[in-house]
Amino acid sequence: MRLTLEFGGGLELLCDSEKIHKVNVDLPNGAAAADDFTMKHLLSWVRTNLIKERPEMFMKGDTVRPGVLVLVNDCDWELSGQLDTTIEEKDVIVFISTLHGG
């Protein structure tokens, strides 16, 4: 499944300072899962494949660290079910960290 992932607010530093990643994600456990591909699967894929350092800055347990905004196609994921949000081909997912020094 081809997706575009963007990292902002400092998170790009965890992925070799690349802000935009165009990726091809393998569906877990067979093609039948095409409709079941959710943010939960994507997050663990990202943690394994894209986060090169300090994973605790990106994730806490099964979900993103509190303070990280997730937008799926420019829409806050809290409106689409958070971890249960289904992901489709060509979706754009943005992760922005809101935690900054002052």
Residues that bind other proteins (CB under 8 A): 8-10, 65-67, 69, 71, 74, 76, 94, 96-102
Q: How far is the CB of 70 from other proteins (least distance, A)?
A: 11
Q: Which is nearer to other proteins, 18 or 27 (CB)?
A: 18
Cα–Cα distances in angstroms (integers) from residue 101 to residues 9, 67, 82, in the given order: 11, 13, 26
Q: Which is nearer to other proteins, 30 or 102 (CB)?
A: 102
CB 68 within 8 A of CB 97: yes
Q: Which is nearer to other proteins, 28 or 67 (CB)?
A: 67
Q: How far is the CB of 73 from other proteins (least distance, A)?
A: 13
Q: How far is the CB of 19 from other proteins (least distance, A)?
A: 11
Contacts 24+ apart (CB under 8 A), 56-61: 57/11, 57/14, 57/97, 58/11, 58/14, 58/95
Q: How far is the CB of 33 from other proteins (least distance, A)?
A: 28
Question: CA-CA distance, 22 to 102, in Å (whole number)?
Answer: 32
Q: Which is nearer to other proteins, 5 or 94 (CB)?
A: 94
